[in-house]
Amino acid sequence: MAAKKSERALVEEWRDVLSLHARTMCELDRELHPYGLGASDFEVLDVLAESKAEDGSCSYRVQELAARVHLSQSALSRLVARLEKDGLVTRGMCSEDRRGVRVALTDKGREIHAEVLPLQRAVLTRMLAEQSSG
C-alpha cells in the first residue's frame, strides 16, 4: 500500500508542476500579447540575449536554441521565421558548418527584449511565489 501512496504522491507532484507551467505560460502570453510576443517568442529572445558568440553577437545554432527553449526543431523554425519577419532576429549560415543555420538577435530584438524583460520576470516572480506559498 505504501508503494501505491508514494506513486500517487509522485503523480500529484508531477501534475502540480504541469499545472504551474501551464498557468505561468498563459499569464506570460497575456502580459506579452500587447508587445506582439508570446511566452515562447520571449524565451527565444531571452536565450539569445544571454548568449555571446566569439564575435560578440547574440546568436545560437538552431539545434542549440531548440534544446535551450524546449521546442521541436519544426516549431522553433516557424517561431524564428515569425520573429525574423518582425525584424527581431536574423538567420544566417554557420561559419563553422555551412549546413547549419545560426539565429541572431537584432538591435530591434534587443530593444524589445529589454523593454519586456521586467514584465516577464515579474510574472515569474509572482507565479513561483504563489506556488511556494500554496
Q: In this structure, what CATH number is given to the domain that contains residue 102?
A: 1.10.10.10
Query: What does pTM read for this prediction?
Result: 0.85
Average pLDDT taken over every residue of the chain: 88
CB 32 within 8 A of CB 44: no
| pLDDT confidence bin for 64, thresholds 50/70/90 | confident
CB 100 within 8 A of CB 62: yes
Of 91, 89, 90, the residue nearest 109 (C-alpha): 89
Average pLDDT over residues 85-91: 95
Average pLDDT over residues 65-92: 93
Q: Where are the alpha helices (DSSP H) in 33-106?
A: 39-50, 62-69, 73-85
Most confident of 32-41, 69-78, 89-98: 32-41
Domain of residue 83: give its range.
2-133
Number of domains the chain is built from:
1
Average pLDDT over residues 76-98: 87
